[in-house]
Amino acid sequence: MDENSGQPLGEPEPIVTPSKSSRHLAFSADGKKMIYVQSEAQSNIQGIEFDEKNGKVIGNPSWITTGDREVSRAELSPDGTKFLMRQIRRTQDDIVAVNRDGIGWHDITNDAPFDRFSRWSPNGKKIAFASDRSGEYEIWICESDGTNLRQITFTTSIPDTIQSGTSFPVWSPDGQRMTFYTGEDSFIIDLNKGWNEQIPIKLPRNEKGNVFAVWDWSPDGKKLAGRFIGENTTGVYSFETKSLTRIVGGENALPAWLSDSRRIIYSQNNKIYLADTETKKTNELLTIDPEKPRSPFISRDGKLLYYVAHLNKSDIFLLEAQPIQ
């Protein structure tokens, strides 16, 4: 390029590096050397036997899936046969599934839009997820094999709401309702009605005005577990008392219910914890190292604690320009 005008003097040429992700490029003063950061992110599903009654893990974790991939927020199907999750690819995010034994990978979606936060319906016949395929992030639903894809939220039409991305779909235990988060507030909709036939119910904020983003609906249908956006706190919303309660603090602690609709499980840093929402007592269940556990869940039968184990590595590389012969 012409250093005075900044205009290119030819066509761009790729510089091939051994990295899947190269960032933070910088050049030496003489322009002959370039430095960059190589990042490698990898994540797979791990699981460990769980004693739900006594709230204890048994034995050691084992890998359910392996390989050079990056997945996020795996959820086991209600019948316990398949995991559903987001797979992060080079230019797109897709929803994928794999058998419980870690084999038989297949795509639910595989196209240019970014699809995230997938959730099984309570009967395992449908899948909900957030996607930007309409131009803005909205909630979409499809059959368990990816067919019959349809958009179910159109949040720009909610009065007094500024669209800032819709995410976190959560089914009610009976499959009749769903919560979602718009970046401004959380809402509940009736899945038996079309969008134009209903007014989404807005969930309250806490006394500080922080939004409660729902992450899981209790099996008895009476409570919601989630996070208060803007503060590192996990909490519960009660439909009976119409009140919000803080349970535990901790950055990125995303809670999931156990079958008793009283205890929740969550991860923080490289540990997984169990918390009683009534006594607010917390117990450490498991430490993972060097990977970090994310989005832990307990299987419907209460016998498996599973999560995505994520490992992110970065190194600095130096390239030196060679004279053109």
Superfamily of domain 45-312 in CATH is: TolB, C-terminal domain (2.120.10.30)
- Sketch the domain layout of the chain as residue ranges: 45-312
Asked if the model's pLDDT at residue 324 lies above 70, the reply is: no
CA–CA distance, 119 with 77 (Å, rounded to integer): 9
Q: According to the model, what pLDDT value does residue 25 have? A: 86
- The confidence band for 253, taking pLDDT boundaries of 50, 70 and 90, is confident
* Placement of tokens 């990977």 in the chain: 291
Round the average pLDDT of the chain to a whole number and report it: 91
Which pLDDT score, from 0 to 100, does residue 206 have? 92
pLDDT digits (tens, 9 = 90+) for 164-185: 679 999 999 999 999 999 988 9
Give the model's pLDDT for residue 42. Answer: 83
What pLDDT is recorded for position 164?
63
Q: What is the pTM of this model?
A: 0.85
pLDDT at site 41: 73
pLDDT at 204: 95
Residue 147: CB atoms within 10 A of its CB come to 8
Question: What's the whole-number mean pLDDT along residues 60-87?
Answer: 95
Decide: helix, strand or coil at residue 205.
coil
| Residue 148 Rama label (left phi>0; alpha psi -120 to 50; beta) | left
| Composition of the chain by helix, strand, coil, percent to 5 | 0, 50, 50
> Would you give the end-to-end CA distance of the chain in angstroms?
19
Average pLDDT over residues 280-284: 95
123, 143 in Cβ contact below 8 A? no
